[in-house]
């Protein structure tokens, strides 16, 4: 098939899922056209079936906010026409689903039918999309899509509860490339970070408020009174400066490293003993799945779709959002030398259930179904 993928090119989860999906489809012989405003972070290889079309937004002094959505629709029209696309698959509803609707209408006037599939990722529904500034457009454009998928059962439920959506929503969970995400031997790195054999806790995110990283600092402060631990924090975002200050004020900063944005996260995951995800909202928790694939158990909140990934008492533990004391107790349990290998093995086994080779055919099947119906 000739598939157009529209996504955010950034480090965020939806962009990563879209890019990895496109790469896997290309390897399977489909021609994949990425349409976005800059080269997706993980689109770092050459493949004869992968094409990248940059959306250019002309500036003009009148525009306080450059109209990205219009430029995106125009680019979609151009790519669909010139490359004979069979379908457009947009990731994250805002503004991609409504931009695709506009492109579809324009193409219809030119006698071209293009099915649109929208994949809902999380905050497009649970946070941003609910805002009255966006809600009518989000509801309309989801209903106007030819096919809709959500990355978890929880997100599917939230969508029906919070929007007047009548479309059938297919749940296709996120996936993992087990060739890339596997535990590597990185003893020298582990020695450098934890020379006394300290256990290593890890968190990766975009450092937004919704991630509740302050709970990690609080649970870490409790835990380090009981055992020798280090905390690594990967990523960057609006909360980082405040968290660094908080760590200094709590007197725990000597055991914490803020590593900033990193690409080769599987290398850091390879030396981690525990992954922490205390989010207030999380439709799936891709970072937790990446950790599990590298044999790292997960201490998490019970937000959204996380319990569909992290299994209580098996691959880690789940606590109520905000209950950092419970998270600290659970972490201390998992990190015991006789427990850790068992949790590690369960984490890997669970991650294998989300192998990209199992999930990719579900997208291909869905594509065929939607194209046949259109
Ligand atoms: O986590 C974020 O804030 C980024 C966000 C995104 O859309 O880029 O991630 C969402 O999509 C990911 C991929 O489907 C999910 O794994 C994340 O759980 C989800 N984030 C939230 O729901 C907060």
Question: Model confidence over 205-240: pLDDT tens digits?
Answer: 999 999 999 999 999 999 999 999 999 999 999 999
At a CB cut-off of 8 Å and minimum separation 6, what does 356 contact?
20, 24, 175, 176, 177, 178
Give mean pLDDT, residues 83-90. 98
Domains 2-175+355-373 and 187-352 share a fold: yes
Give pLDDT, residue 363: 98
Query: Residue 304 burial by CB count (10 A; 0-12/13-18/19+): exposed, middle or buried?
Result: buried
pLDDT grade for 42, boundaries at 50, 70 and 90: confident
Handedness of CA 246, 252, 254, 260 (dihedral sign): negative
The answer to whether the CB of 281 is under 6 A from ligand 1 is yes
Centroid of ligand 1 to alpha carbon of 132 (angstroms): 21
Q: Once rounded to an integer, what is the mean pLDDT over residues 340-352?
A: 98
Distances (CA, A) of 317 to 310, 311, 329: 7, 7, 10
pLDDT of residue 40: 87
Q: What is the average pLDDT across 90-115?
A: 97
The whole-model pTM stands at 0.94
Best residue for ligand 1 mutational test, from 121, 128, 156, 174 (most atoms within 8 Å of Cβ): 121
Kindly indicate the confidence band of residue 129, based on its pLDDT and cuts at 50, 70 and 90: confident
pLDDT at 130: 85
Q: Please name which of 47, 48, 32 lies closest in space to residue 91, comparing C-alpha atoms.
A: 32
Alpha-helical segments (H) within the chain: 13-27, 68-82, 93-109, 123-126, 135-144, 153-162, 187-193, 213-223, 240-250, 265-269, 286-293, 324-334, 340-352, 356-373
CA of 281 to the centre of ligand 1 (A): 9
With CA atoms as reference, report the closest residue to 184 among 287, 275, 296, 271.
Answer: 271
Q: How far is CA 220 from CA 199, 235, 291, 339, in A?
A: 11, 18, 18, 19
For the chain, give the mean pLDDT. 96
Confidence band, pLDDT 50/70/90 cuts, at residue 263: confident
Does domain 2-175+355-373 match CATH 3.30.460.10?
no
What pLDDT digit, counting tens, does each position of 173-185 carry? Answer: 999 999 999 999 9
Q: Given ligand 1 and candidates 91, 122, 153, which is best to mutate, with the most ligand atoms within 8 Å of its CB?
A: 122
Task: Quote the pLDDT of residue 119.
Answer: 98
**In this predicted structure, what is the pLDDT of residue 11?**
62
Q: How far, in Å, from the CA of 60 to the mean position of ligand 1?
A: 33
Instruction: Please tell me the distance from the alpha carbon of residue 44 to that of residue 19, in angstroms, as a whole number.
Output: 10
Tell whether the model's pLDDT for residue 350 goes beyond 80: yes
Whether residue 95 has its Cβ less than 6 Å from ligand 1: no
Percentage of the chain beyond pLDDT 70 is 100
The phi-psi region of residue 313 (left if phi > 0; otherwise alpha if psi is between -120 and 50; otherwise beta) is left
Residue among 182, 147, 167, 158 nearest 362 (CA): 147
- Cβ of 301 less than 6 Å from ligand 1: no
Neighbours of 134 (CB within 10 A): 17
User: CA triplet 226, 231, 235: central angle to 5 degrees?
Assistant: 155
At 242, phi and psi to the nearest 5?
-65, -35
Task: Provide ipTM, 2 decimals.
Answer: 0.95
Cα–Cα distance between 91 and 139 in angstroms, integer? 15
Q: Does any ligand 1 atom lie closer than 6 A to the CB of residue 173?
A: no
Residue-level pLDDT at 99: 98
- Pair 233, 252: CB distance under 8 Å: no
CA of 78 to the centre of ligand 1 (A): 29
Locate the domains of the chain by residue range.
Answer: 2-175+355-373, 187-352
- CA separation for the pair 200, 273 (Å, rounded): 5
Tell me the CA–centroid distance for residue 286 and ligand 1, in Å: 7
- 93-109 vs 135-144: helix crossing angle, rounded to 10: 50
The atom number, within ligand 1, closest to the CA of 284 reads 18
Q: Is the CB of 163 under 6 A from ligand 1?
A: no
Q: Judge if the beta carbon of residue 273 lies within 6 A of ligand 1.
A: no
Task: State whether the beta carbon of 139 lies less than 6 angstroms from ligand 1.
Answer: no
| Fold classified for 187-352 | Rossmann fold (3.40.50)
Distance 151 CA to ligand 1 centre (A): 9
Environment class of 36 (CB within 10 Å of its CB; exposed 0-12, middle 13-18, buried 19+): buried
Nearest residue (CA) to ligand 1, atom 5: 13
Rounded distance from Cα 212 to ligand 1 centre (Å): 14
pLDDT of residue 12 exceeding 90: no
**How many percent of the chain have pLDDT more than 90?**
92
Tokens linked to 171: 């749940």
Distance 122 CA to ligand 1 centre (A): 5
pLDDT, tens only, 288-323:
999 999 999 999 999 999 999 999 999 999 999 999
């Amino acid at each position: 098939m000739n598939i157009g993928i529209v996504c955010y090119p950034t480090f965020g989860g939806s962009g990563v899922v879209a890019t990895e999906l496109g790469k896997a489809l290309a390897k399977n012989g489909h021609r994949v056209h990425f349409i976005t405003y800059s080269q997706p972070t993980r689109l770092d290889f050459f493949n004869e079936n992968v094409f990248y079309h940059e959306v250019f937004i002309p500036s003009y002094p009148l525009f306080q906010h450059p109209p990205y959505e219009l430029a995106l629709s125009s680019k979609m029209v151009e790519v669909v026409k010139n490359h004979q696309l069979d379908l457009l698959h947009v990731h994250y509803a805002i503004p991609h689903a409504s931009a695709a609707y506009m492109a579809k209408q324009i193409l219809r006037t030119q006698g071209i039918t293009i099915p649109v599939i929208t994949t809902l990722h999380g905050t497009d529904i649970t946070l941003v999309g609910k805002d009255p500034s966006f809600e009518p457009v989000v509801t309309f454009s989801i209903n106007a899509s030819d096919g809709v998928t959500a990355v978890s059962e929880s997100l599917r439920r939230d969508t029906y509860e919070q929007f007047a959506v009548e479309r059938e929503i297919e749940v296709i969970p996120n996936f993992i490339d087990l060739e890339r995400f596997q535990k590597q031997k990185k003893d020298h790195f582990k020695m450098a970070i934890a020379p006394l054999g300290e256990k290593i806790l890890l968190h990766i995110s975009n450092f937004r408020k919704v991630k509740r990283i302050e709970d990690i600092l609080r649970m870490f402060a409790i835990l380090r009174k009981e055992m020798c631990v280090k905390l690594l924090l990967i990523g960057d975002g609006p909360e980082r400066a405040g968290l660094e200050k908080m760590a200094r004020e709590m007197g725990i900063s000597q055991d914490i490293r803020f590593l900033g944005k990193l690409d080769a996260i599987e290398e850091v995951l390879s030396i981690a003993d525990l992954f922490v995800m205390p989010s207030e909202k999380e439709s799936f928790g891709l970072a937790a799945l990446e950790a599990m694939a590298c044999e790292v158990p997960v201490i998490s909140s019970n937000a959204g779709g996380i319990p569909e990934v992290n299994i209580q008492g098996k691959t880690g533990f789940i606590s109520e959002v905000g209950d950092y004391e419970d998270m600290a107790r659970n972490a201390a349990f998992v990190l015991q030398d006789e427990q850790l290998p068992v949790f590690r093995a369960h984490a890997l086994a669970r991650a294998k259930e989300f192998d990209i080779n199992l999930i990719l055919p579900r997208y291909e099947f869905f594509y065929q179904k939607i194209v046949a119906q259109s």
